[in-house]
Amino acid sequence: MQPTSERTAASATGTAQLPQAIEARNPGMPLDMDWVMSAQANTSAIERRAATIGTRRSVKKEYQAAWLLKAISMIDLTTLAGDDTPGRVRRLCAKARHPVRQDLLDAMGMDRITTGAVCVYHEMVPTAVEALAGSGIPVAAVSTGFPAGLNPYHLRIAEIGESVRAGAQEIDIVISRRHALTGNWQALYDEVAEMRRECGDAHIKTILATGELGSLRNVARASLVCMMAGADFIKTSTGKESVNATLPVSLVMMRAIRDYFERTGIRIGYKPAGGISKAKDALTYLALVKEELGDGWLTPHLFRFGASSLLLDIERQLEHHVTGHYSATYRHAMG
């Protein structure tokens, strides 16, 4: 056990351990087609850069436990399955409130930690809201005909309002991939702008479904259009595409966020989602955020993991860090 050094390490990251609503809203701006069309992506350079990020030790070993705690505070703990039940959602919410065993937290000098949010389908929003009451943990609802986004338009818009009225504080919408694939950026802009209006005070995360956008250049352009239309976060994937979050896509999206910030002064959040299930991968993503966007983005206000099983592996790594042993997966509530 390393309580003393970890107490130092835990505070070294400056982690905001408790969730708060995402702070400033993005008011959006008129669609700037010159800017959108100027966005390019040099695929081979991006892939080369992505290939090196996991090989460098950006997070020093002695601080890894602190970084893993920080990662937990940035997880949108997710269940998006056809067989979701109120019982499963209640268990997930209990886990969001207490993601790490108290004896492990004590050993690391931490009082309390929670996940960034709980993410569910609309039908599960009331259950999650009730289960998280008083915790400060927001409920995120996937909306607009998730995951394909091909329901009738008026129903997709109406679904947002329903989720907001049910208590969701964050809405993860899916974009119409066809607008990006056919270069109809005006249609994508109009769609996201209307969805943002329907969100009201709830924060909007726009899911690009990058695995279906055909090229990194389309990812760059779709990212910009969503931000211009008022997205508070841009998110990679639903978790249901055959290719979900990747490092090359993340580089492109983070650079679009940086570009938007440099030109407008507005910070947009980033949410990689789908297939991120290992603690080591989480550390790689955090290192990428630090290098591409800077420490200012290492907060739940501006960075989230969309993940259903990442917490399980992080918990196992933390247990190993404290006790020197790995416990069996089945011993964990979410195993």
Ligand X SMILES: O=C[C@H](O)COP(=O)(O)O
Task: Enumerate binding residues for ligand X (CB under 6 A).
Answer: 78, 80, 119, 238-239, 273-275, 306-309
User: Which of 19/275 has CB closer to ligand X?
Assistant: 275
Cβ atoms of 6 and 66 closer than 8 Å: yes
User: Hey, what are 71's tokens?
Assistant: 């990662």
Joined tokens for residue 125: 């929003």
Q: Which residue is nearest to ligand X (CB)?
A: 239
Cα 301 to Cα 206: distance, rounded to the nearest angstrom: 15
Q: Whole-angstrom Cα distance, residue 308 to residue 8?
A: 30
Q: How many CA atoms lie within 13 A of 171 on its CB side?
A: 32
Between 206 and 308, name the residue whose CB sits nearer to ligand X.
308
The CB-of-274 to ligand X minimum distance in angstroms stands at 4
**Please, what is the minimum distance in Å from the beta carbon of residue 334 to ligand X?**
11
Q: How far is the CB of 80 from ligand X (least distance, A)?
A: 5
Nearer to ligand X, 26 or 238 (CB): 238
CB 97 within 8 A of CB 128: no
Q: 107 or 119, CB closer to ligand X?
A: 119
Catalytic residue positions, numbered: 172, 235, 271
Cβ of residue 209: shortest distance to ligand X, in angstroms?
A: 11
Positive or negative torsion for Cα 193, 197, 198, 200: positive
Distance CA 230, CA 189 (A): 9
